[in-house]
Amino acid sequence: MKTVVFVTHNNGKFREAKEKFRSIGVELRQYSGGYPEIQADTLEEVALYGVEYLSDKLSEPFFLEDAGLFVDALKGFPGVYSAYVFRSIGCDGILKLLENVVDRSAEFRSVVAYKEPGEEPVVFRGVCRGEISYEKKGSNGFGYDPIFVPVGSNLTFGEMDVKEKNSFSHRGKSLQKLLEYMRRVMGKD
Ligand code: ITT
């Protein structure tokens, strides 16, 4: 069976990817060794730097993913700073910044960069529009999940199981593109 490595220290992300990969008979392995997350203007730059850094360290096909929450009323903040902002002020801090703000619209973005040995990396993107809730709800998932309600649902990601979150989420979409690429280009059915 073909093995693909997902480079992430985030177990929540890995659970979501595992659920997606289940359907195509590829074994997904987590590698938590990490890579330097540079401070850059775009998720793409962060992801591609990570791929470059890892390409001579891993012998199997691998991918990594950089994601972020972009809040319209905050002009896209926390965006590429999402990890730092989550560690410092968390969901409560975002709710505080949006106190008395009526426009709650926001989006999650995901950039997946996949690399086969000896090949150029390929990038897949996924976006999920939604709204920031007025309070935290649900204890599933990770990160900003308890405060994000995707368009098409009344539940936060924190109130959804993995399968339901994948059906709406930025990562569900970018990984779906990766799976279609693997099926199409490499015949990995
Ligand atoms: P990696 O090891 O894969 O980099 P990470 O947790 O550092 O894991 P990111 O840099 O991609 O992941 O994520 C930036 C921040 O955005 C981080 O605090 C995440 O918790 C949060 N985040 C990313 N995707 C999310 C999602 O689907 N739901 C909620 N929060 C998310």
pLDDT tens readout for residues 78-127: 999 999 999 999 999 999 999 999 999 999 999 999 999 999 999 999 99
CA distances from 29 to 6, 37, 160, 184 (A): 6, 21, 24, 22
> What per-residue confidence (pLDDT) applies to 18?
95
> For residue 180, how far is its CA from the centre of ligand 1 (angstroms)?
23
The pLDDT, as a whole number, for residue 185 is 80
- By percentage, how much of the chain surpasses pLDDT 90? 88
**Ligand 1 atom 1, closest CA:** 8
Peptide bond into 78 cis (omega under 30): yes
Please provide the DSSP assignment of 27-39 as one string.
EEEEE--------
Mean pLDDT along residues 119-147: 98
- Domain segments of the chain: what residues? 2-186
For the cut 60, the answer to whether the pLDDT of residue 189 exceeds it is no
Please indicate whether residue 142, judged by its CB atom, sits closer than 6 Å to ligand 1: yes
| Ligand 1 neighbourhood includes 109 CB (under 6 angstroms) | no
- In 41-53, which positions are buried (b, 16+ CB within 10 angstroms) versus exposed (e)? eebeebbbbbbee
* Position in ligand 1 atom list of the atom nearest CA 171: 27
The pLDDT assigned to 142 comes to 98
Q: Does domain 2-186 have CATH number 3.90.950.10?
A: yes
Asked whether the predicted pLDDT for residue 48 surpasses 90, the reply is yes
